[in-house]
Amino acid sequence: MTHPADSSAVLGRLFGLEGRVAAVTGAAEGMGHEIAKLLAVAGASVAILDRNSGDAVEVARAIDHRGGRAVAIGMDLADEQSIVAAVRQVAEQFGGIDILVNCAGIQNRELLTETSTELWDLVHSINSRGLFVCVREAARIMRAAGRGGRIISISSMGSIHPIMPGLAAYNASKAAVNALTRSAALELSGDGITVNAILPGAVATAGAAKAPGPAPSGRVVAGPPPLGRLATPADVAAAVLFLAGNGGAAITGQTLCIDAGYLLS
């Protein structure tokens, strides 16, 4: 019979993040907020990276009050120098970066024939170009430290299977994230750095609700997925925790879809 203390030790080795530093972009609200909270509960020191400095500070303060360790750092994904400075600040303040979670993004919607190049460029500048800079800067720090690392990007189910009109620019930007994930996984494998992407299906978040453009329509609102519910930010956070810990050490270059079975329907 397994002793409870032994079970706890095994779970700690697989999912515990004590002594590790996690940087989470877009962590002031929504999925990023949920991810940051869970990584802190698992023992990681967490940097809350977001252009919404006020809410980021509140998230960091709440983590601190629960016994964790967190700091809020302002960062604008549309500004390369802002990203470079923010990532360096994380490393300087915590002594390195072990985990990068790319959650920040925008979902500005417009029907294909109405999509301007300005909207296309805006969406890609945040969702793919800005995310690339985050990966590049964190990878440089991880490689220099020589202790491996985890890079996890939040993509979208729409990157492999469009489910509603109005998201051509968004889905294309997330498909770029998937391709970057595989390329980065190959290039960084020799450094012990794993790189994976999570592809949520429809998840109700404040960011999606207030995104400009036509209201969501089409297949996504035709009925519930096979599991009878939508995935939640907590579901996404749990997957991030798995990939961030030792339990996911042999997983790299993968895209994990969390859609409550929607793609089966």
How far apart, in whole angstroms, are the C-alpha atoms of residue 15 and residue 2? 19
Q: Which residues pair with 152 in a beta bridge?
A: 101, 196
Contact 201, 258 (CB under 8 A): yes
Contacts with 196 (C-beta within 8 Å, 6 or more apart), sequence order = 151, 152, 153, 181, 185, 243, 248, 251, 252, 253, 254, 255, 256
Question: Rounded to whole angstroms, what are the CA distances from 141 to 17, 107, 194?
Answer: 19, 29, 14
Residue type, 231: A
Tokens (6 digits) for 183: 């390329």
Contact 64, 70 (CB under 8 A): yes
* 262 carries an active-site annotation: no
Q: Which residues of 41-79 are buried (b: 16+ CB within 10 A; e: fewer)?
A: bbbbbbbbbbbbeebbbbbbebbeeeebebbbbbbbbee
Q: What does R_g of the chain's alpha carbons equal in angstroms? A: 18
Q: Exposure of 156 by Cβ count < 10 A (0-12 exposed, 13-18 middle, 19+ buried)? A: buried
Contact 170, 127 (CB under 8 A): yes
Choosing from 97, 170, 180, 181, the catalytic residue is: 170
Give one word for 48, left, alpha or beta, with left for phi > 0 and alpha for psi -120 to 50: beta
Query: Residues with catalytic annotation?
Result: 170
